[in-house]
Amino acid sequence: MRLYILSLVTLTAFAQTGTRITPPTIRDISQRGIARGTTVELTVEGFNLAGAKRIYFSDLSIKGRILRIKELPDLPDIRLGSNGTASTVDLGPLPPRNQLAVELDIDPEAPVGPVNFRIETPLGTSPEGTLLIEPYYGESPDKEPNDTIDGAFEVYLPSILTGTIAKPGDVDHFKINVKANTTLSFDNGGQAVGSTLQPVIAILDAEGNAIKEYDGANQFAHTFSKAGAYYIRIADYEKSGRATHTYRIKTGEFPLVSGVFPLGLQRNKQADINFTGAHIAAKAQVTGTPAKEDPNAVLLRPSFQTIKLALNDEPEITVTGSQAVTIPVTINGRLQKNGVKDQFNFSARKGQHLIFDVNARRLGSDLDSFLEVLDAKGKPIEQAVVRPIVETFVTLRDHDSAGPGVRITHWNNIHVGDYMLLGQEVVRVAALPRTPDEDIRYESVMGQRRAFFNTTCEAIANDKAVYKVQMYPPGTTLPPNGLPLTRLYAQNDDGGAGWGKDSFLTFTAPADGEYSVNIRDVQGLGGDNYAYRLTIREPRPDFQLAVAPANPNVPIGGAVPLTVTAIRRDGFDGPINVTLENLPTGFTASPATILPGQNSAVVVLRAAVDARLAEPAPLLAKGRAGDIVREANPGDPLKLISLTPRADIQMTSTTKAIELARGGTATVTVKIARNNGFAGRVPVDVLNLPPRTLLPSFGLNGVLLNEDETERTFEIAATAQAEPGEQYIVVGGRVETRSGQQNTFVAPEPILVRIK
CA atoms within 13 A of residue 661's CA, in its CB half-sphere = 2
* Residues 627 and 680 grouped into a single domain: no
* CB of 95 closer than 8 Å to CB of 46: no
Residue 225 lies in a domain: yes
* CB of 446 closer than 8 Å to CB of 565: yes
Residue 387 exposed, middle or buried by CB count within 10 Å (0-12, 13-18, 19+): buried
Domain of residue 635, CATH code: 2.60.40.10
| Boundary (domain end) residue, out of 619, 643, 667 | 643
Ramachandran region, residue 550 (left: φ > 0; alpha: ψ -120 to 50; beta: rest): alpha
Share of the chain above pLDDT 90, in %: 80
Amino acid at 370: F
Determine the average pLDDT of the residues in 511-529. Answer: 95
Residue 154 lies in a domain: yes
Residue 614 lies in a domain: yes
* Residues 155 and 213 grouped into a single domain: yes
* Residues 557 and 575 grouped into a single domain: yes
Which ranges of 159-248 would DSSP assign to H, the alpha helix?
Answer: none
pLDDT tens, position by position, 523-534: 999 998 999 999
Q: What is the pLDDT of residue 738?
A: 72
Residue 504 lies in a domain: no
pLDDT tens, position by position, 83-118: 444 555 544 446 788 999 999 999 999 999 999 999
Cα 356 from Cα 367, distance rounded (Å): 16
More confident residue, 285 or 694: 285
Cα 368 from Cα 456, distance rounded (Å): 13
Q: Report the SS3 class of residue 250.
A: strand
Q: Mapped to the 3 state alphabet, what secondary structure does 318-341 carry? A: ECCCCEECCCCEEEEEECCCCCCE
pTM of the model: 0.88
pLDDT tens, position by position, 398-411: 999 999 999 999 99
Residue 473 exposed, middle or buried by CB count within 10 Å (0-12, 13-18, 19+): exposed
* Residues 653 and 639 grouped into a single domain: no
* 699 pLDDT more than 70: no
Indicate the pLDDT class of residue 322, thresholds 50, 70 and 90: confident
Q: What is the pLDDT of residue 614?
A: 86
**Cis preceding linkage at 255, omega within 30:** no
Cα 171 from Cα 236, distance rounded (Å): 8
Average pLDDT value over all residues in the chain: 91
* 129 pLDDT more than 90: yes
| Boundary (domain end) residue, out of 236, 253, 270 | 253
* 5 pLDDT more than 60: no
Cα 349 from Cα 508, distance rounded (Å): 9
**Residue 561 is part of which domain span?**
542-643
| Boundary (domain end) residue, out of 253, 282, 302 | 253
Ramachandran region, residue 573 (left: φ > 0; alpha: ψ -120 to 50; beta: rest): alpha
pLDDT tens, position by position, 357-376: 999 999 999 999 999 999 99
* Residues 222 and 176 grouped into a single domain: yes
Determine the average pLDDT of the residues in 716-730. Answer: 91
Domain of residue 746, CATH code: 2.60.40.3450
How many domains in the chain? 3
Residue 479 lies in a domain: no
- Evaluated on CA atoms 125, 191, 41, 44, the torsion sign reads negative
Least Cα distance to 278 among 214, 185, 181 occurs for 185
Cβ neighbors of 356 (< 8 A, separation 6 or more) are 371, 373, 492, 503, 504, 505, 506, 507, 517, 534, 535, 536
* Residues 151 and 249 grouped into a single domain: yes
